[in-house]
Structure 1
Amino acid sequence: ISTGTDVSLSSYDEDQGEAPCVPIGMAGFAAIVAYGLYKLKSRGNTKMSVHLIHVRVAAEGFVVGAMTPDMGSSMYKEFWAKPKS
């Protein structure tokens, strides 16, 4: 059902393409998880649950680290670099 109102999201533009942080974050996440699973047998006397939590936190941290510069750039362009009109 259309209400006739035009909804515009200024920060979303379909012509922009995909941000480079997305494939970098996905690749890093997959690499860290693969490495963590590879090292699962040689974890020493660490419990499996603790090892898996460390792998998860490292993978999530990489994704957040990959997204931060892109989000900072977007915020700068949206709020501080706008031409004054």
Structure 2
Amino acid sequence: MSTNNDVSLSSYDEGQESKCTQKAKKASFIPIGIADFAAIVVYGLYKLKSRGNTKMSVHLIHLCVAVQGFVGVMTLGMGYSMYREFWAKPEL
């Protein structure tokens, strides 16, 4: 009984950085979304620290509006990306 172990393991040899780079090239909205999310978190923490006499509920409402704007922009971006990929394909 002979087993053939000639399975290509090239995907296992790749580093984590090259995998992330390939994913970013394939779906460009992933790194943009991560960066935007990080920016909203940093902004929220900064505003929380320096809010002065503002109530916590007002601060949370402002943060909620920022997150909703982020989600709206990402939705529009993904919609545009889907439009380009599925409906506006150039004829081959």
TM-score of the two chains, using structure 1 as the length reference: 0.57
Residue number in structure 2 paired with 1:49: 57
> What do residues 11-54 of structure 1 show as CA deviations (whole Å, max 9, x unaligned)?
xxxxx944111221122112112221122132233211221221
Distance 1:29 1:60, change over 3 A: farther
Report if aligned partners of 1:28, 1:63 keep a CA contact under 8 Å in 2.
Answer: no
Q: Which 5+ residue runs of structure 1 have no aligned equivalent?
A: 1-15
Greater C-alpha Rg: 2
More helix by share: 2
Residue number in structure 1 paired with 2:42: 34
Root-mean-square deviation (CA), in Å?
2.8
Separation of aligned partners in 2, 1:30 and 1:60:
15
Separation of aligned partners in 2, 1:56 and 1:76:
30
Q: Which 5+ residue runs of structure 2 have no aligned equivalent?
A: 1-21
Q: Percent identity?
A: 54
Correspondence 1:1-85 to 2 at 5 A: 17=23, 18-81=26-89, 83=91
